[in-house]
Chain A
Amino acid sequence: MKGIRRSLAAGLTLVMAAGLVLTGCAGRTEEKPTTTTTPAASDPAKKPFEGVEIRFLASQHPWTDTVKKDIAEFEKQTGMKVNMEVLAEGNLTQKLTVELTAGTGTVDVFMQRPLQEAKQFEKNGWYADLNTFAKDAKKTPAEWDMNDFHKGPIQAETVNGHLVGIPLVTEQQIIYYRKDLFQEKGVKVPTTMAELEEAAKKLNDPSKDFYGIVMRGQGNPAVTQFSSFLYSMGGDFVKDGKFTMDSPEALKAFKIYGDLLGKYGPPGVLNMHWQQASALMAQGKAAMWVDANSLYLNVTAPDKSTVGDKIGFAQFPAGDKGSAPYSITSWGLSIAKSSKKQDAAWEFVKWASSKEMVLKTQAAGNPSARASAWNNPEGTKSWPKEWVEVAKKSGEIGKPSDRPLVINVGKARDLIGEIITAAIGQKDIAAIAKDRNVKLNELLAEENK
């Protein structure tokens, strides 16, 4: 009995002691009072942001890994302290949503996916308008050069005339193909939709567990990879404020995507996201894979792929209206409106998106949105030559979005995904497309209320 009492008492003491010790530790993360309103730009001897701490919520991404290494240098130059937290992309969105809703100024800088989040975040008033910084000559020197950024990515980061983020990473849809097999069987690398289907048909050999083509077949994730088919056939998700998923162009695009996977794709394709699709390609079980070029290491790196040295890259094939792959901004850097240290935050954003840093991050394998990085041989040295050519070309002609730009992107993708899976299942899609299009327009009407 004594023992129990003693251990209970010990437990209590422990809890209290732990509380004391740890609250003590918490002092480390405490915010300093804001002193950032007067950056001492006029006094170069003094570090302008001495003692200021900013909090940066970043996504788990190769870009983050590269920047992380240089943050110490930035801190030395400015005297600032950057508290960086790295999270998986889905978790980042959740955490941002909670912290920005609370609006207590805990986040200063954050990474964001413009196509997925920009519209909603802007509607909630969570973004600081970066135009006020980027266009202010006092805060941004001319050599930072806004015009060096490609137009598409800047457009993607602009909502209601506000610049909500600086584009960091871009990607385009391309064809990955097996150079050795195309040569062996004398198949031409496809440049049109017809040739794509032809090649898939010729190389398809299910009896040997080998398939002509593999792409995403899961409805929701497939929507982004379907978008280039849609654009190339002359369609679009939304035209004049209405969804057009039942237009003749869209129906043609659905049919092509569905036929490719339904006739020449692997079994179980309806459950495939890019991870499963790339795995098949990496194990030498597919002749072609059509997906984002940013994923190339999954099929070329020796520790991941058995056919790494046999992979070729080709531009997205032309449909009725030519080749129109997406060229999107997958990540951007933003400042929270609730941040009390916006000047310091901008100093960091400006540094992370400067010509020098972008060249560095691109050289480490993150396709950027800056023309200067693409034109510098140093900036493209880490990629295969063929890949660079395809990426450059696709970047020039590409469309800035790969999904419908609505607030409830997930719901819209689900609905469009249902048409895609029906097409892969070789069903008659006209009726389904019509029905889902009505639902999509209802969704849109709801949002515009």
Chain B
Amino acid sequence: MNPRKKVHPALNVLYVVGLVLFFVAFMFPFAWMIISSFKTQSEILTMPPKWIFTPTFKNYVEVFEGQDFLMYMLNSFVIAVGATLAALVLGLPAAYAIARRRLPSLGFTILVARIVPGITFLIPWFMIFSRLKMVDTMPALILAHMLVTMPFVVWVMIPFFEGIPNDLIDAARVDGCTEQYAFLRVVLPISGPGIITGSIMAFVFSWNNFMFSMILSGVHTKTLPVAIFNFLSYSEVNWGGLMAASVIITLPVLVLALMTQKYIVRGLTAGAVKG
């Protein structure tokens, strides 16, 4: 350790205590969720909570047998992937144009779509989609989810593209590239980390989106966050099933985040000029 930066030991202890406190505070609900998903209803509600018990897989069996959970998962996946890809296709060129041509007002307009509460879009959307007979179809949901994913991709990518030295692009132009070609062949290949960061976050936002899915989905397109409410009924709450379903919903996002963590970190540290 650098001797000049020596910290007071008390501060160090405080730092560790703070870390532990935060860790416990954030992990407790998560731990409770996972533990509860292996308990029976009466064990879950026991106060004080039991830490030692015989785990049961009944809840998980119930989730997959009692409902079409695999279908809901597939729906969520198709919609999230679709909305993310569509956001990339439209969002990457948009972000590049905004960054290169310095069009902050355009960038701001896209951001406004994200700031306005989503619910304001719902009634007009519903009217449009129902006239087009598109309610309860994947395209409608993907389009709706793009409202969440696209501004995100654009706003992650603007600073990223701004960070790419103009010299690089100018060099490509001198060699005879068109602007579009330079974007495709020079800029995009070195933007991998930014694109991955943006897509993962967009995917997660779409995966978790509840409001749009609830109103615009139906029997054929129900997504996981909507389906999870099936465990709350008028006169009873199936806590075990609810927790098992929550674990199932969280798992893919968790795996995705862990798998791609190194890309995200690399995206934050790597220099842009290396292509």
A residues sitting closer than 8 Å to B (CB atoms) are 1, 4-5, 8, 11-12, 14-15, 18-19, 22-23, 25-26, 28-31, 59-62, 83-91, 94-95, 98-99, 101-102, 104, 106, 275, 279, 282-283, 292, 294-295, 297-298, 303-306, 330-331
Query: A25 with B220: in contact, given A89-B234, A91-B226, A283-B46 (CB under 8 Å)?
Result: yes
A94 to chain B, nearest CB (A): 7
Contact between B133 and A30, CB atoms less than 8 A apart:
yes
Contact between B185 and A1, CB atoms less than 8 A apart:
yes
Q: B127 contacts which chain A residues (CB < 8 A)?
A: 102, 104
Q: A22 contacts which chain B residues (CB < 8 A)?
A: 137-139
Contact between B126 and A283, CB atoms less than 8 A apart:
no
Stretch at the interface among B26-34, B37-45, B98-106, B259-267: B37-45
Q: Can you list 8 A-B contacts (CB < 8 A)?
A: A8-B188, A18-B78, A29-B133, A31-B133, A62-B234, A101-B123, A279-B47, A304-B45
Residue of B nearest to A331 (CB): B234
B68 to chain A, nearest CB (A): 12
A98 to B122, CA, bound (A): 7
Contact between A283 and B137, CB atoms less than 8 A apart:
no
Contact between B130 and A104, CB atoms less than 8 A apart:
yes
Query: A330 with B137: in contact, given A85-B218, A303-B41 (CB under 8 Å)?
Result: no
Q: Interface digits, B133-157 against A, CB 8 Å rule (1 contact, 0 not)?
A: 1111111001000000000000000
Contact between A23 and B137, CB atoms less than 8 A apart:
yes
Query: A94 with B41: in contact, given A8-B89, A14-B85, A99-B126 (CB under 8 Å)?
Result: no
Q: A91 contacts which chain B residues (CB < 8 A)?
A: 214, 226, 229
Query: A83 with B219: in contact, given A95-B214, A297-B236, A304-B41 (CB under 8 Å)?
Result: yes
Contact between A88 and B85, CB atoms less than 8 A apart:
no
A66 to chain B, nearest CB (A): 13
Contact between B235 and A98, CB atoms less than 8 A apart:
no
Which of A14, A23, A60, A94 sits near B232, CB closer than 8 Å?
Answer: A60
Contact between B229 and A18, CB atoms less than 8 A apart:
no
| Interface: B131 (CB within 8 A) | yes
B4 to chain A, nearest CB (A): 46
Contact between A86 and B230, CB atoms less than 8 A apart:
yes
A347 to chain B, nearest CB (A): 21
Contact between B214 and A283, CB atoms less than 8 A apart:
no
Q: A18 contacts which chain B residues (CB < 8 A)?
A: 78, 82, 138-139, 142
Interface residues of chain A: helix, strand, loop or mixed (majority): helix
Q: A83 contacts which chain B residues (CB < 8 A)?
A: 219
5 more A-B residue pairs beyond the given contacts A5-B184, A11-B88, A23-B137, with a C-beta to C-beta distance below 8 A: A15-B142, A18-B82, A89-B234, A94-B214, A104-B130
B222 to chain A, nearest CB (A): 8
A91 to B217, CA, bound (A): 12
Q: B112 contacts which chain A residues (CB < 8 A)?
A: none
A113 to B157, CA, bound (A): 48
Residue of B nearest to A209 (CB): B47
Q: B54 contacts which chain A residues (CB < 8 A)?
A: none
A283 to B45, CA, bound (A): 8
Q: B237 contacts which chain A residues (CB < 8 A)?
A: 275
Q: A104 contacts which chain B residues (CB < 8 A)?
A: 126-127, 130-131
A31 to B133, CA, bound (A): 9
Contact between B130 and A106, CB atoms less than 8 A apart:
yes
B196 to chain A, nearest CB (A): 12
Name which of A25, A88, A305 has the most chain B CB atoms within 10 A of its CB: A88
Contact between B42 and A295, CB atoms less than 8 A apart:
no
Contact between B235 and A279, CB atoms less than 8 A apart:
no
Residue of A nearest to B137 (CB): A26
A90 to B88, CA, bound (A): 34
Q: B85 contacts which chain A residues (CB < 8 A)?
A: 11-12, 14-15
Query: A29 with B234: in contact, given A19-B139, A102-B123, A283-B45 (CB under 8 Å)?
Result: no
Q: B226 contacts which chain A residues (CB < 8 A)?
A: 87, 91
A102 to B127, CA, bound (A): 6
Contact between A29 and B188, CB atoms less than 8 A apart:
no
Residues 179-211 of B at the A interface (beta carbon under 8 Å)? 184-185, 188-189
Contact between A88 and B229, CB atoms less than 8 A apart:
yes
Residue of B nearest to A84 (CB): B219
Which of B89, B126, B188 sits near A4, CB closer than 8 Å?
Answer: B188
Which of A4, A60, A86, A304 sits near B42, CB closer than 8 Å?
Answer: A304
B46 to chain A, nearest CB (A): 6
Q: A298 contacts which chain B residues (CB < 8 A)?
A: 235-236
Q: A59 contacts which chain B residues (CB < 8 A)?
A: 234
Q: Interface digits, B156-192 against A, CB 8 Å rule (1 contact, 0 not)?
A: 0000000000000000000000000000110011000
Contact between A98 and B126, CB atoms less than 8 A apart:
yes
Contact between A305 and B42, CB atoms less than 8 A apart:
yes
B224 to chain A, nearest CB (A): 14
A14 to B82, CA, bound (A): 8
